[in-house]
Amino acid sequence: MPYTFYLPIKVVPEDIDELNHVNNIVYLRYVQDAASGHWRTVPQEIASQIIWVARRHEIDYLKPAFVGDDLVVKTWVDSFVGVKSIRHCEIMRGDEVLARSLTHWIALDAQTFRPKRITEEIVKQFFPE
Concatenating the DSSP letter of every residue in 51-107 gives: EEEEEEEEEEE-S---TT-EEEEEEEEEEEETTEEEEEEEEEETTEEEEEEEEEEEE
Digit-coded pLDDT (tens) for 18-57: 999 999 999 999 999 999 999 999 999 999 999 999 999 9
Contact 77, 85 (CB under 8 A): yes
d(CA 68, CA 123): 36
CATH number, residue 80: 3.10.129.10
Report the percent of the chain where pLDDT is more than 90.
97
**Structural domain tally of the chain?**
1
Region 84-103: what's the mean pLDDT? 98
Region 90-119: what's the mean pLDDT? 98
What is the value of pTM for the model shown?
0.94
Domain span at residue 116? 5-126
